[in-house]
Amino acid sequence: MKKIKYFLLILILVLQFCKDQTENSDPKNFSFIKGKNIHLRELPDQKSKSLGFLQGGNKVEIILEPNNKTKIGNLIGKWIKVKILSGKLVDNEGYVFSQFILEKGSDPINLIYKEIEIVKRKEYLQKLKSDFPEYNEFGLYTLDELINYEILVNDCKIERLETSIGFEDKETLIKSFQELKFNFNNSIFEKMTQCEFFWADYCGGTDILPYPYSSYSNKEQIKLVISSLIIDSGDKENCYQTTDNKKYCFHISKYNEKFLIGGLCQMHNNQK
């Protein structure tokens, strides 16, 4: 009986520890600095001693956020107490004016996908780069890579605003695509694709890597795939066997009432 009580006591302590750890790591308590050379103040006052400069992208933990607001020049905000989690001032604690901190729980990556008028979007994206120069959270892509991708897509969309890209029906698109096998041309293929062109290792997988066709680093690989297609093997999904016994699908999407190729993937042997 004593052993059972002892075990239950240990279990309660472990569960409490896990609970504390979870509470302490609540993502809602974290944020990021925005801008360049932002003062970390010793006290919540503009005239307080500066502990050094923070840079956009430095991660912080929110320790204390008051309700009262104050005005500095044309800016209205709060003095938020933070602990620095990355950058040159890591482990320091101090105060940062709220205008230079993202909303709690937010991330610079989220800002990339904010809806902005297409003609103003490039300028907005370029400013994001300058606002978060030291953002270094780990991911499949860096912040700069994602922004560069979005700029390429945006430039493509602007270029197409005044051009008639795409096909009225799916069958015509497939027929034109099949002709590429015999006379491949980069510019013709680009006109058949959406600005967002997805390349996946296998169809239906979760490892889709997005690139606009114009930025894909190995255009020759796409040309080789198309050149190796066995046209007679094509199905209604625009999937084909190749001469080297592989299978590729070129997905067709509808964009602005026109049919375009949205990307390609290689089927695995266990996929039908």
Q: Which candidate, 135, 110, 117, places its Cα nearest to that of 54?
A: 135
**Residue 154 per-residue DSSP state:** H
Relative to beta strand 193-200, strand 258-266 is parallel
pLDDT, the chain, mean: 85
* Burial of residue 21 (number of CB atoms within 10 Å: 0-12, 13-18, 19+): exposed
pLDDT at residue 270 tops 90: no
Residue 20's pLDDT band (cuts 50, 70, 90): very low
pTM: 0.75
**Tens of pLDDT along 233-254?**
999 889 999 999 999 999 999 8
Dist. CA 270–CA 38, nearest whole Å = 54
C-alpha distances out from residue 161 to 119, 155, 256, Å:
10, 10, 11
Q: The tokens of 20 are what? A: 């504390």
Edge-to-edge strands, sheet with 209-211: 209-211, 193-200, 258-266, 247-255, 239-241
Collapsed DSSP state (helix, strand, coil) of residue 68: coil
Nearest to 221 by CA among 242, 205, 206: 242
pLDDT value at 86 more than 80: yes
Are the C-beta atoms of 56 and 131 separated by less than 8 Å?
yes
**Dihedrals φ, ψ of 254, to 5°?**
-110, 125
Residue whose token pair is 């602990």: 83
Decide if pLDDT at 4 tops 70. Answer: no
pLDDT at 25 over 60: no
Residue type, 249: C
Residue 242 DSSP label:
B
At residue 88, the pLDDT reads 96
User: If you ran DSSP here, which 8-state letter would residue 47 be given?
Assistant: T
Q: What are phi and psi of 221, to 5 degrees?
A: -65, -40
Looking at residue 199, its pLDDT comes to: 83
pLDDT of 201 > 80? The answer is no
Structure tokens at 118: 């297409």
The fraction of the chain above a pLDDT of 90, given in percent, is 60
The answer to whether the beta carbons of residues 226 and 176 sit under 8 Å apart is no
Percent of the chain with pLDDT over 70: 83
| Rounded Cα gap, residues 152 and 146, in angstroms | 10
Of the pLDDT bands very low, low, confident and very high (cuts 50, 70, 90), residue 177 is very high
Question: What is the average per-residue pLDDT within 192-221?
Answer: 74
Q: What is the mean pLDDT of residues 67-74?
A: 91
CA distance 81 to 1: 49
Host H or E run for residue 189 = helix 186-192
